Amino acid sequence: MATTYREYIWELPVRITHWVNALSILTLSITGFYIGAPFLYAVSDTALPMAAMRFIHFTAGYIFTASVLFRIYWWFVGNQYARWNQFVPTTMERVQNTVQCGLFYCFLEDEIPHSPGHTGMAGISYAVIFTLFLFEVVSGFAMLHLANGGGMVYAIGGGWMLDVLSVGTIRMLHHVFMWCIWIFVIIHVYISWHNDIIERNGLISSIFSGYKFFGSGH
């Protein structure tokens, strides 16, 4: 008799922030790309479509900021698969899981270690991507601080970065990290799809439903 069972892994806040982040990044990248290299004719910085693109960029930026901060809060109150220690290996077991994953991706191991939540490798990649998210938020607020002539929220959100880096460097890094995020997304979707097929555990559907499947044949 088959012994397949399903387990609730990704709580609602994890799934909601995942998709809010993904949709925000898509919106921010299209509008940000336009801000950097306008591909439609615009009369001036305040004329449409530049004004519209900037408005959408900033609105999506606030939504993205709230979502990233909420997910970070959930690192401390969420279930065992959502916690901060899933992103940085703190136990020997987690270190071994990460090493075994690395060997698997180098074709030196036949199987991915059993991980109900994120594998050690996936966790580390998400820690890196959240660092890039935070940089995008802080550098975005730094540019808003300059564009709006100060203000407490902008100053705390990123204005302080102007004392550390020039605005040209901040803008350049804000742009370059957009491409880094997209490199991550391509690899991320490929690996999610690949592991869903080889592990047959419903990985892709799990980020919509919250459930993964385990047991014989999985």
| CB 161 within 8 Å of CB 135 | no
The 133-152 contact track toward ligand HEM, x by CB under 6 A, reads ---xx--xx-xx--x-----
3-class secondary structure, 163: helix
Among 42, 127, 181, 202, which residue interacts with ligand HEM (rule: CB under 6 A)?
A: 181
197 binds ligand HEM (CB under 6 A): no
Indicate the residue among 103 and 181 with the shorter CB distance to ligand HEM.
Answer: 181
CA distances 158 to 82, 134, 165, 175, 191, Å, are 27, 10, 11, 16, 33
Task: Say how many residues touch ligand HEM, by CB under 6 A.
Answer: 43
Cα-based angle 21, 192, 111 (whole degrees, multiple of 5) = 145
Give the interface segment with ligand HEM, choosing from 91-99, 100-108, 118-126, 161-169 (CB under 6 A). 118-126
Where does residue 164 rank: exposed (0-12), middle (13-18), buried (19+ CB within 10 A)?
Answer: exposed
| C-alpha span between 105 and 115 (Å, rounded) | 15
| C-alpha span between 26 and 156 (Å, rounded) | 26
| CB 154 within 8 Å of CB 141 | yes
159 binds ligand HEM (CB under 6 A): no
175 binds ligand HEM (CB under 6 A): yes
Give the interface segment with ligand HEM, choosing from 97-105, 106-114, 160-168, 181-189 (CB under 6 A). 181-189
What does the binding site for ligand HEM look like in residue numbers (CB under 6 A)? Answer: 14, 18, 21-22, 25, 28-29, 32-33, 35-36, 54, 57-58, 61-62, 64-65, 71, 118, 122, 126, 129, 136-137, 140-141, 143-144, 147, 171, 174-175, 178, 181, 185, 188-189, 192, 203-204, 206-207
